[in-house]
Amino acid sequence: MNYTTQMDAAKRGIITKEMEIVAKEENINIDLLVERIAKGQIVIPANKNHKSLKPCGIGKGLSTKINVNLGISRDCPNVDKEIEKVDWAIKMNAHAIMDLSSYGKTEEFRKKLIDRSTAMIGTVPVYDAVGFYDKELQDITSKEFLDVARKHGEDGVDFITVHAGITNATADVFKRNKRVMNIVSRGGSLLYAWMELNKAENPFFEYYDELLNICEEYDMTISLGDSLRPGCIDDGTDASQIAELILLGELTKRAWERNVQVIVEGPGHIKIDEIKANVLLEKKLCFDAPFYTLGPLVTDIAPGYDHITSAIGGAIAASCGVDFLCYVTPAEHLRLPTLDDMKEGIIASQIAAHVADISKGVSGAEEWDLKMAHARQELNWEEIFKLSIDEDKARTYRKESTPEFSDSCTMCGKMCSVRNMNRVMDGKDINILRSED
């Protein structure tokens, strides 16, 4: 049977091969999965031209997914270095990779990325437009912005971030409500500048129906970007952010009417006690569409450690219902991440996602921790390593500090509580000061 998108198929009751893969991977009833895709509560970003893709679901009742940001820039244009990061991100089981390239051989990098990636690929067409046309921002036409989105669809991009929510009306809200950090979204700030320079409406909003035509043709999911997300906790949950969120809900419904799948992006920097309210607002105003957050970062004072501030916020956000976490590296706000920065960011996000999955009762999440508890109780180091979220690091730490006795570590030695409780429970003597027999 013919269908245009995963949502179109779901509305018709058609089970696609992508749905079958996701249902098996997530251990979810296939009929329930189809129902939630039809309602827009779950998406399977799967461009028809991304042939190497391993389909992955994002949304209600599924495990929390993580995204990795990569890409070349004017200061760091080395394609090969970014491809090395891509290979590591896939090896480390990232669910999605966003190409944020903004300069140089962007098309070359994007095509290499799509050809080799089993993970979902996302892009931000407005970033690419300046380099693609080799024009100043003001001189790019509305049609040219849309043509870049089409090019990304042809290339096989699975989801595009489109900042359609920064309009003349929401920009007026921003102008009337002073912020500390103004607009920190790169895509949002570029479009705001284009609108101001050209005294025109946001092309992605004005020609949203044409954008939907492109997305429907390639089954490219729209990730509605939060142009007015807060860039510091003082700006969190303000009038600008909420005005845009209301509009994103309306754009979500318009996309669903065309069977285009939607993800809604959220903050950003917010206070820890505002996270639950932000998730509730998105789920209500955007009709339970999958929610995608950058962190959120819950303090502004930790440059060099923002993977930690992000993981704190991400764990809480996902436990409240966020479906998709964009990783943050230690280099956030400071530089393009190195390979090691990327690895740390992935691990931090994976921890946050797993913590939330335990809370949400995701199938298999708590069982993983129970297996680790049994391995620790048995002092089964090999099993502990295999169950670790970062097996290499766990093995390295153990190897770098070898204890005298294998059933302990160099911190506690023979005073190890697990070792001694195992002995007592087995009716054996506790031998701490005396030599072993």
Say yes or no: 115 and 143 in one domain.
yes
**Domain check: are 49 and 169 in the same one?**
yes
**Residue that terminates a domain, selected from 338, 360, 382:** 360
- pLDDT exceeds 60 at position 437: no
Identify whether residues 149 and 216 lie together within a single domain: yes
269 marked as part of a ligand binding site? yes
| Cβ atoms of 267 and 278 closer than 8 Å | yes
Residue 332 and residue 302 in contact, taking contact as beta carbons nearer than 8 Å: no
In a domain, 352, yes or no: yes
Contact 96, 67 (CB under 8 A): yes
Tell whether 110 is in a known binding site. Answer: no
312 vs 351: CA distance, rounded Å:
10
Please tell me the least confidently modeled range out of 67-81, 111-125, 133-147: 67-81
Check the annotation: does 185 bind a ligand.
Answer: yes
Flag whether 127 is marked binding: yes
Question: Annotation-wise, does 142 bind a ligand?
Answer: no
- Helix (H, G, I), strand (E, B), or coil: what is residue 161? strand
106: in domain: yes
In DSSP terms, 123 is beta-bridged to: 99, 160
Whether 96 and 127 have beta carbons less than 8 Å apart is answered as no
Q: Is 238 annotated as a binding residue?
A: no
Kindly state the tokens that stand for 318: 């996902």
Q: Which of 301, 282, 143 is nearest to 226 (CA)?
A: 282
Residue 227 marked as a ligand binder: yes
Query: Is the Cα dihedral 141, 147, 149, 151 positive or negative?
Result: negative
Cβ(276)–Cβ(303) below 8 Å: no
Q: Is residue 1 part of a domain?
A: no
DSSP 176-204: HS--SS----HHHHHHHHHHHHHT---HH
Q: How far apart are CA 310 and CA 424, in angstroms?
A: 42
Query: At a CB cut-off of 8 Å and minimum separation 6, what does 75 contact?
Result: 336
Q: Cis ω on the peptide bond leading into residue 125 (within 30° of 0)?
A: no
CA nearest to 62, candidates 349, 353, 280? 353
CA distance linking residue 408 with residue 415, whole number of Å: 8
Report the residue count for the chain: 437
Region 322-351: mean pLDDT is 96
Residue 396 shares a structural domain with residue 410: no
CB of 105 closer than 8 Å to CB of 77: yes
Instruction: Evaluate if residue 280 carries a pLDDT over 80.
Output: yes
Over range 127-143, report the average pLDDT: 92
Task: State whether 277 and 356 are in the same domain.
Answer: yes
Residue 275 has pLDDT above 80, yes or no: yes
For the domain that residue 346 is a member of, what is the CATH number? 3.20.20.540
- Cβ-based neighbours of 17, under 8 Å, separated by 6 or more: 55
Q: Give residue for tokens 């809200």.
A: 173
State the CB neighbour count (10 A cutoff) for residue 13: 11
Place of tokens 């294998």: 406
10 Å CB burial of residue 199 (0-12, 13-18, 19+) is: exposed
Q: Which domain holds residue 291?
A: 6-360
Is there a single domain that holds both residue 209 and residue 269? yes
- Identify whether residues 175 and 58 lie together within a single domain: yes
Count helices and strands (H / E) in the chain.
19, 10
Check whether residue 375 and residue 230 sit in a common domain.
no
76 is in an annotated binding site: no
| 181 annotated to bind ligand | no
Task: Please give the pLDDT value at position 399.
Answer: 93
pLDDT band at 407 (very low <50, low <70, confident <90, very high): confident
Model pLDDT for residues 156-192, shown as the tens digit of each residue: 999 999 999 999 999 999 999 999 999 999 999 999 9
CB 129 within 8 Å of CB 140? yes
Type of residue found at 13? G
pLDDT tens digits for 9-34? 999 999 999 999 999 999 999 999 99
Q: Is residue 187 one of the residues assigned to a domain? A: yes
Quote the CA–CA distance of 165 and 275 in Å, as a whole number. 21
Whether 95 has a binding-site annotation, put simply, is no
Say if residue 416 carries a ligand binding annotation: yes
Q: What is the pLDDT of residue 1?
A: 66
- Whether residue 244 is found in the same domain as residue 156: yes
Please give the mean pLDDT across all residues of the chain.
Answer: 95
Structural domains counted in the chain: 3
Q: Are residues 320 and 275 in contact, defined by beta-carbon separation less than 8 angstroms?
A: yes
Q: How far apart are the first and last CA of the chain?
A: 74
- Distance between CA 141 and CA 139 in Å, rounded? 6
In Å, what is the CA distance from 368 to each residue of 53, 358, 365?
A: 26, 10, 6
% the chain with pLDDT above 90: 88
Residues 6+ apart with CB under 8 A from 175: none
- Residue 412 assigned ligand-binding role: yes
Distances (CA, A) of 279 to 37, 166, 405: 20, 20, 49
Contact yes or no for 271/296 (Cβ under 8 A): no
23 and 118 share one domain: yes
Task: Tell me, yes or no, whether 208 and 280 share the same domain.
Answer: yes
| Within-domain flag for 416 | yes
Q: Say whether 354 sits in a helix, a strand or coil.
A: helix
Compute φ and ψ for 262, nearest 5 degrees. Answer: -135, 135
Whether 348 is in a domain gets the answer: yes
Residue 408 has pLDDT above 90, yes or no: no
Residue 47 in any domain: the answer is yes
- Do 339 and 416 fall within a single domain? no
